[in-house]
Structure 1
Amino acid sequence: MLSQIAQPAAAIEQDDFSALDPQRWRIETQDPAGSAVYVEQQRLIMDTRAGMTVWLDRPLRGAYRIEFLRQVLVAGQANDRLSDMNLFWGAHEPDLPDGHLRLARRNGVLEAYDNMASWYVGMGGNGNSTTRFRWYDGSGERHLLGEHLQPDYLLEAGRIYRIRVEVSADKTAYWVDDRLMFQQALDGRSTDGYFGFRSVWSRQAISRFRVIEI
């Protein structure tokens, strides 16, 4: 009897960025006049002069993996700066059930997110001097769960990074180019909620986005 061959997991969400779908992506930006979100060569471009979050407009629940490519562009354009390849996942309002978030409600300023609960990684933050992993508890506290300051944990201009976020029943993890950078036991904290690309004053390109169940 032949053994069954495991089939690759089907994507529950994916985007090749052939066009910007406003029903799929919701934008919160601190400086609308100096910032833009658009697609170019099958990449989502976040070109921001200040704080910006681009949310996937659906909650993710259970065990899942988020995968994409991401690049910080530094080529002399107005908002180019090697910093802040950041993201949220499992973001939700503490006062709403089932991992819901009030999208397009905040103004893109980082402090505006202090009253939501979320996991957060800021890679190359503070002018590319820190890479940090935090838990936002919904009461204004951003709990530091991990930190890397070494150069090989910071950003390189133009490098295309392969990012993976994993959520299981008991832990969550953040991977870069198959390197585990952070891992944390949930300890009762929820991972149900929304995923968002986050940045501050930079120009970044994102491609090959998908979410699969695990």
Structure 2
Amino acid sequence: MFHLQTVSRPACKITAVVIAVVVAMVSALPAVAQSSEATCSLWGRAGKLIYQDDFDKDLRQWQVESADTKNSDISVANHQLLIDAAKGATVWFKQKLSGDILIRYTRRVVMEQGRNDRLSDLNQFWMATDPRNQNIFTRKGVFEQYDDLRLYYAGIGGNTNTTTRFRKYQGNGERSLLTELNERDTLLQANRDYVIETTVYQGCTRVLVDGKVFFSYRDKDALRDGYFGFRTTQSRQQVRDFKIYQLE
């Protein structure tokens, strides 16, 4: 016959500890599930083409901010946007974007012994706004002048092609570093065409480079509208096939 009183006190203590551990593990399960649900896995599909530029005429859809206009040339030719920048330069798309969107373009860093040729800084801003001014186009291309904007920033092959970084600018001078990469296949190759796809979808944003995920982020304080801009410093680059789709 089994008697409860035969169980020793040390055994009771061990049993209590085991139960406490099991309860703690079970209690943690919802948090694990919540963490899993917080990852970005759905990205929609490309629907209506809402904007495009084949760069066949001029820069009428763009606002240029250049720190050195004398030794730089930002223009269009042969169905390409040409950014030949001696110092910092930002080329803003003039239409303010909102909602779930996909931005796609092809871009290369040119290395042919030109005066500004440097393998560096295939960069971009997106969902950019100025908390203090409805007009965002007030700067002169100097990188630090953008610190007080709210935006997402990707810098591929920055610092003379040694780092690839993803930041969120908070609108108060803080530039939060979200991801930093320095593996060889996340840096730039000269004279190579890269297809860049930037997605903003249901609180998440992502950057693909030739189909590979470089950055993916779910933002609890997501930037849901703002401006897109090509960004670089001292380099010569070409951009073509610029398109923006609404995501479904």
Shared fold per TM-score greater than 0.5: yes
| Alignment partner of 1:137 is 2:170 | yes
Tell me the equivalent position of 1:170.
203
Tell me the equivalent position of 2:62.
25
Mapping of residues 98-117 of structure 1, within 5 Å: 100-103=134-137, 105-117=138-150
TM-score by length of 2: 0.80
Q: List gaps (5 residues or longer) in structure 1.
A: 1-6
Supply the AA of the counterpart residue of 2:47.
Answer: A
Alignment check: 8 A CA contact 2:59 2:76 kept? no
| Alignment partner of 1:127 is 2:160 | yes
Provide the C-alpha distance between the structure 2 equivalents of 1:111 and 1:204, rounded to a whole number of angstroms.
21
Alignment check: 8 A CA contact 1:73 1:80 kept? yes
Tell me the equivalent position of 1:3.
none
Alignment check: 8 A CA contact 2:157 2:164 kept? yes
Provide the C-alpha distance between the structure 2 equivalents of 1:56 and 1:85, rounded to a whole number of angstroms.
16
Q: Number of residue pairs matched?
A: 203
- Over 3 Å counting, the alpha-carbon distance change for 1:82 and 1:8 in structure 2 is closer
Provide the C-alpha distance between the structure 1 equivalents of 2:119 and 2:132, rounded to a whole number of angstroms.
36
Q: What is the CA deviation profile of residues 76-114 of structure 1, one whole-angstrom value per residue up to 9, with x for unaligned ones?
A: 110000000000000001235xxx5421x1010010001
Supply the AA of the counterpart residue of 1:56.
Answer: F
Mapping of residues 3-22 of structure 1, within 5 Å: 9-22=47-60
| Alignment partner of 1:159 is 2:192 | yes
Alignment check: 8 A CA contact 2:164 2:181 kept? yes
Give the match's secondary structure for 1:212.
strand
CA-CA distance at 1:8 after TM superposition: 6.5
Supply the AA of the counterpart residue of 1:120.
Answer: Y
Provide the C-alpha distance between the structure 2 equivalents of 1:20 and 1:180, rounded to a whole number of angstroms.
32
Work out the percentage of aligned pairs sharing the same amino acid: 39
RMSD (Å) for aligned C-alpha atoms: 1.3
Which of the residues 87, 91, 98 maps onto 1:54?
Answer: 91
Supply the AA of the counterpart residue of 1:137.
Answer: Q
Superposed structure 1 runs of 4+ greater than 4 Å apart: none
Alignment check: 8 A CA contact 2:203 2:222 kept? no
Supply the AA of the counterpart residue of 2:212.
Answer: R
Give the match's secondary structure for 1:152.
helix
Supply the AA of the counterpart residue of 1:136.
Answer: Y
TM-score by length of 1: 0.92
Provide the C-alpha distance between the structure 1 equivalents of 2:78 and 2:239, rounded to a whole number of angstroms.
10
Provide the C-alpha distance between the structure 2 equivalents of 1:95 and 1:81, rounded to a whole number of angstroms.
34
Q: What is the CA deviation profile of residues 150-176 of structure 1, one whole-angstrom value per residue up to 9, with x for unaligned ones?
A: 111000000100000000112000000
Alignment check: 8 A CA contact 2:204 2:222 kept? no
Which of the residues 76, 93, 97 maps onto 2:113?
Answer: 76
Alignment check: 8 A CA contact 1:91 1:195 kept? yes
Give the match's secondary structure for 1:95.
coil
Give the match's secondary structure for 1:158.
coil
Q: What is the CA deviation profile of residues 52-73 of structure 1, one whole-angstrom value per residue up to 9, with x for unaligned ones?
A: 0000001100000000000000
Provide the C-alpha distance between the structure 2 equivalents of 1:34 and 1:46, rounded to a whole number of angstroms.
12
Greater share of residues in helix: 2
